[in-house]
Amino acid sequence: MAGIQPFLEQALALHDHLCPRQILGIRIGLYAAELLNLSLPQSDKRLYTLVETDGCFADGVSVATGCWMGHRTMRLMDYGKVAATFYDTQTERAFRIWPHPKARQTAVCLAPTAGGHWQSQLEAYQIMTNDDLLCASAVQLNLSMKALISRPGVRTICSVCGEEILNERERIIDGQILCQSCAEESYYQPLEPILAHSS
């Protein structure tokens, strides 16, 4: 795949090394472009990506698609899987793509002298056919993409902690505007009383 080289170089610049998961991320992103008939990497916000793990894989997907957390076109659904779902906001079509269950075995067969399984994957994942490397399925999302994407510039204040809430992520409980941490079980516990800063 001659077209993969610029993406490999960009991924290498991000991480100072290449690994099989980066290559899988790139290949999965490029396959999404094929399935959705899109020109990627995008420069607009037409494509939205839900990645199922973070790290090198997610960066590979970002390099190939132009979907980034910082652009609000990528979201982590932390399932611990090397997989991603791609949603076209114009057509409302979505595909989930993941590595073929036999991809690692096929990689060893294609690059038997590479110097170990990891190196075989690194080399073979760059040249394997989509059929040998990846699986894909058209999917219907069980979440509202409109709510997930939200509207730019929407913000409010939590009536309990006083912190700003962006992207319509607030909860209304008994008529009060609450952030998710105050409304639900939070992922953190303050060790000291919260100090309000006066302006």
CATH (domain of 134): 3.30.1330.130
Domain check: are 112 and 182 in the same one?
A: no
Instruction: State the pLDDT confidence band at 196, using cuts at 50, 70 and 90.
Output: low
Domain check: are 128 and 196 in the same one?
A: no
Domain check: are 162 and 100 in the same one?
A: no
Token couple for 141: 């999302």
- Sequence-distant (6+) residues with CB within 8 A of 134 are 27, 28, 31, 97, 98, 99, 100, 103
The pLDDT value given to residue 197: 53
Domain check: are 141 and 182 in the same one?
A: no
Domain boundary among 147, 164, 184: 147
Domain boundary among 131, 147, 163: 147
Domain check: are 187 and 120 in the same one?
A: no
What mean pLDDT is predicted for residues 75-81? 96
41 preceded by a cis bond (ω within 30 of 0): yes
Structural domain of residue 173, as residue ranges?
A: 150-199
What share of the chain has pLDDT > 70, as a percent? Answer: 95
Domain check: are 24 and 74 in the same one?
A: yes
What is the average pLDDT value for the chain, to the nearest integer? 91
Instruction: State the pLDDT confidence band at 167, using cuts at 50, 70 and 90.
Output: confident
Domain check: are 28 and 126 in the same one?
A: yes
Domain check: are 86 and 176 in the same one?
A: no
- pLDDT top residue among 164 and 114: 164
- Residues 27, 3: contact at Cβ < 8 Å? no
Domain check: are 109 and 198 in the same one?
A: no
Q: What is the pLDDT of residues 15-54, one digit of tens each?
A: 888 999 999 999 999 999 999 999 999 989 999 999 999 9
Domain check: are 93 and 67 in the same one?
A: yes
Token couple for 191: 């060790």
Residue whose C-alpha is closest to residue 48's, from 85, 97, 80, 82: 85
How far is it, in rounded angstroms, from Cα 175 to Cα 193? 25
Q: How many domains does the chain have?
A: 2
Domain check: are 139 and 84 in the same one?
A: yes
- Residues 86, 112: contact at Cβ < 8 Å? no
Domain check: are 164 and 126 in the same one?
A: no
